[in-house]
């Protein structure tokens, strides 16, 4: 897992992105299309057209990293396909990477009484 500082923001690129793009192309997309600094230390998350793959780019003051996750079944829950970028919390990113609906996570039932 990526060690996230509390000040790190997570940005989702709405719509879909060409998953053939590498870190340089995605960084350029962040800079030109979303008017964000790809070297800010924030995480930028992109989803493919089929919805089963995401890529995350992250700059950690040493270098740029590119992470890829592919679901074997199902699709990643994503915002409506409008061009742009939205911010989510690091907890919501954890849900997203686990295949859980990050917009409205549901807690499992909790016991009312001990024992």
Quick one: DSSP state of residue 94? Answer: H
Q: How confident is the model at residue 39 (pLDDT cuts 50, 70, 90)?
A: very high
User: Edge-to-edge strands of the sheet including 85-88?
Assistant: 64-70, 53-59, 43-47, 10-13, 85-88
Least confident window among 7-16, 62-71, 72-81? 72-81
Q: Are strands 85-88 and 10-13 parallel, antiparallel or unpaired?
A: antiparallel
Supply the pTM of this predicted model. Answer: 0.83
Q: Is 33 helix (H, G, I), strand (E, B) or coil?
A: helix
Helix (H) or strand (E) holding 95: helix 90-97
Task: Dump pLDDT digits (tens) for 84-113.
Answer: 888 888 888 888 888 787 777 665 556 677
* Better pLDDT: 102 or 69: 69
pLDDT of residue 107: 58
Distance between CA atoms of 96 and 80, rounded to whole angstroms? 15
């Amino acid at each position: 897992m990526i060690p996230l500082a509390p000040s790190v923001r997570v940005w989702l690129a709405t719509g879909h992105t060409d998953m053939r793009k590498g870190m340089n192309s995605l960084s350029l997309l962040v800079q030109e299309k979303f008017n964000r600094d790809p070297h800010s230390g924030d995480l930028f998350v992109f989803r493919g057209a089929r919805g089963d793959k995401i890529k995350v780019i992250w700059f950690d003051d040493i270098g740029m990293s590119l992470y890829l996750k592919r679901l074997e079944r199902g699709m990643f829950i994503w915002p409506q396909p409008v061009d742009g970028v939205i911010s989510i919390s690091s907890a919501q990113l954890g849900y997203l990477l686990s295949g859980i609906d990050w917009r409205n996570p549901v807690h499992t039932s909790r016991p009312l009484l001990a024992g």
